[in-house]
Amino acid sequence: MSCLGGIMVMVAATPVLAQSPPPAARGRLVTPQYPVRPAALKPAQAELLQRTLAQADRHGFAPGEFAPRGAGDAELIEATVRYAQAVKIGRLPLDAFPSDWGLRPLPFDARTGLTRAIADDRLEAWLASLPPDYPGYETLQIGLADYRAIQAKGGWAVLPGGPDLKLGATGPAVETLRIRLALEDSETPAVAARTPPPAVPPSADGSVKPGDPLFDDALEEAVKRAQKRMGLEPTGVVNSATRAALNIPVERRLDQIVANMERWRWLPAHLPTERVQVNVAAGILTLFQADQPTLSMRAVTGRPGWETPLLSSSIESIVLNPPWNVPSGIAARELLPKGRTYLANAGFRILPGGRLQQRPGPGSALGLIKFDFQNPYSVYLHDTPSKGGFSRYTRLASHGCVRLEKPLALARAIMEGDPVWTPEAIDATIAGGETTRAPVARPVAVFLLYWTAYVTPDGQVNFRQDPYGWDTLLMQRIAARGGA
């Protein structure tokens, strides 16, 4: 959805394959000509392809998903083409992408690439170049193997309902909790703490029996770690939300990992070294400079029904003291019914043509800073006067744009080194109150992404809710097109 109005549907262009040029004159550099189909495979090449296809499950595919449909070289090559296409750009055709998924893979001609690799005898290097060359993808591969191992052992037991479990609790439910946490967290104590030995009298009502499993400090810390991994407030108390998250089946967690591996394939082969990344699902913005994270902050993203889209673009200007041109839908549903007195007190005015606009200032819905980048959804990054939303662990509250916890820090970092837009100049312009557009001398790439499964530096797979249902939708659409 949009902060400025309706959505435009992105239509992917159909790639046009150029014809091979005629052979050049003698003595000049000649581009090698390749047959439409590869010649017969050498035994070593056939063995390499068979081994690669047999290990396709490492990339989130089902075992045997790309098994050849026959015993000959032609069948092996066809299976490899299907595999290469899937591992390079994913299994979803562009016509199956919803309009909000504006981040889409570039065209890839797997057949031509395979033909050339076989002819040039560089098949191994070509196969190795297919998967995304990103640590985020590679660490998910490790997580995939770990969670498949948990699945193979039967998954985890469901935590029974009941009162909250917290420090000092005792009984079988505490031991069930400890076992459950230990499956994902090697730091969880291997042996449960116990209530005092028989020499100490039991409680008067008999509810605490000597030797019962005890919810001690170590288990409380394990609960906090689990809550952080799942995007929940780390209270150390197993309430209904924590219990529900821990009871999500391992099969669902595997689906999340596979869905996120698929999204990695939609990214370009190399990300710009200077970029802003927003994880829409987690509500986190990270600035990368020289390909290293230098600034991170919380963000508020679109609530369900007003989804923040997936996209890539470039921040080309920063607007200081921006007015808010209210989308007609938001104006009609949320603002105009409040009456003229409210609108006047909140700084709104009606422009010619009936458009509602809020004047710039600290109370504006856009705050004092807006980061502009071209996109068909009319979304952007911006400041907000509503700072309380950043303290929540679930930050899905906007109309599609991304509200920033520290917009001034991001503006200064993007403008770093600019002789005109120094920190002092930015501060003075904001203080002056006049709407000013500051061009970014070196535009910074921006990516709005949807990561619901990712691995942190400690090696732990983190999961977030699937607030828009996009993990489920992606897996359903892959399955509908024959993917396992």
Residue where a domain stops, chosen among 185, 217, 248: 248
Task: Decide if 471 contacts 256 (C-beta within 8 A).
Answer: yes
The residue among 234 and 391 whose pLDDT is bigger is: 234
Residue 4 pLDDT: 52
- The answer on 214 and 282 residing in a single domain is no
Tell me the CA distances in angstroms from 464 to 231, 234, 242, 448, one per residue in order.
6, 14, 12, 16
Mean pLDDT throughout 201-227? 80
Report d(CA 103, CA 113) in Å as an integer.
24
The answer as to whether 138 is a domain residue is yes
Q: At what angle do helices 250-264 and 135-152 cross, to 10 degrees?
A: 160
Average pLDDT for the chain = 88
The answer as to whether 101 is a domain residue is yes
Asked if the model's pLDDT at residue 472 lies above 60, the reply is yes
What pTM, to 2 d.p., does this model score?
0.85
* Amino acid identity for residue 338 in this structure: K
- The answer on 287 and 262 residing in a single domain is no
Asked if the model's pLDDT at residue 131 lies above 90, the reply is yes
- The answer on 419 and 295 residing in a single domain is yes
- The answer on 287 and 435 residing in a single domain is yes
Residue 158 CB neighbours (<10 A): 12
Letter string b/e over residues 283-305, b meaning 16 or more CB atoms within 10 A of that residue's CB: bbbbbbeeeeeebebbbbbbbee
Task: Decide if 220 contacts 167 (C-beta within 8 A).
Answer: yes
Q: Which residues lie closer than 8 Å to 1 by C-beta, 6 or more apart?
A: 7, 302, 305, 306, 307, 308, 309, 377, 399, 400
- The answer on 445 and 479 residing in a single domain is no
The residue among 359 and 482 whose pLDDT is bigger is: 359
The answer as to whether 125 is a domain residue is yes
Residue 58 pLDDT: 97
> Which pLDDT band holds residue 386 (cuts at 50, 70, 90)?
confident
Tell me the CA distances in angstroms from 262 to 134, 144, 459, one per residue in order.
13, 13, 20
The answer as to whether 7 is a domain residue is yes
- The answer on 83 and 38 residing in a single domain is yes
288 strand-pairing partners: 275, 293
Q: The domain containing residue 58 runs over which residues?
A: 1-12+30-155+258-267+468-484
CATH number reported for the structural domain that contains residue 183 in this entry: 1.10.101
Of the chain, the percentage scoring pLDDT greater than 70 comes to: 88
- The answer on 217 and 177 residing in a single domain is yes
Look at the chain and report how many structural domains it folds into.
Answer: 3
Report d(CA 263, CA 245) in Å as an integer.
23
Looking at 90-195, list the stretches that DSSP marks H as alpha helix, in order from N- to C-terminal side.
Answer: 110-119, 123-128, 135-152, 172-182
The answer as to whether 315 is a domain residue is yes
- The answer on 206 and 120 residing in a single domain is no
The answer as to whether 345 is a domain residue is no
Residue 347 pLDDT: 81
Asked if the model's pLDDT at residue 107 lies above 90, the reply is yes
- The answer on 296 and 151 residing in a single domain is no
Residue 252 pLDDT: 97
The answer as to whether 21 is a domain residue is no
3 state SS of 43:
helix
- The answer on 233 and 380 residing in a single domain is no
CATH number reported for the structural domain that contains residue 431 in this entry: 2.40.440.10
- The answer on 210 and 237 residing in a single domain is yes
The one-character DSSP state at 299 is: E
> Which pLDDT band holds residue 29 (cuts at 50, 70, 90)?
very low
Asked if the model's pLDDT at residue 19 lies above 70, the reply is no
- The answer on 209 and 104 residing in a single domain is no
Mean pLDDT throughout 308-337? 89
Tokens 């999500």 belong to which residue?
248
474: tokens are 């992606």
Asked if the model's pLDDT at residue 69 lies above 80, the reply is yes
Of the chain, the percentage scoring pLDDT greater than 90 comes to: 71
The answer as to whether 60 is a domain residue is yes
Question: Could you read off the pLDDT of 365-383 as tens digits, one per residue?
Answer: 899 999 999 999 989 999 9
First and final C-alpha spacing in the chain:
31
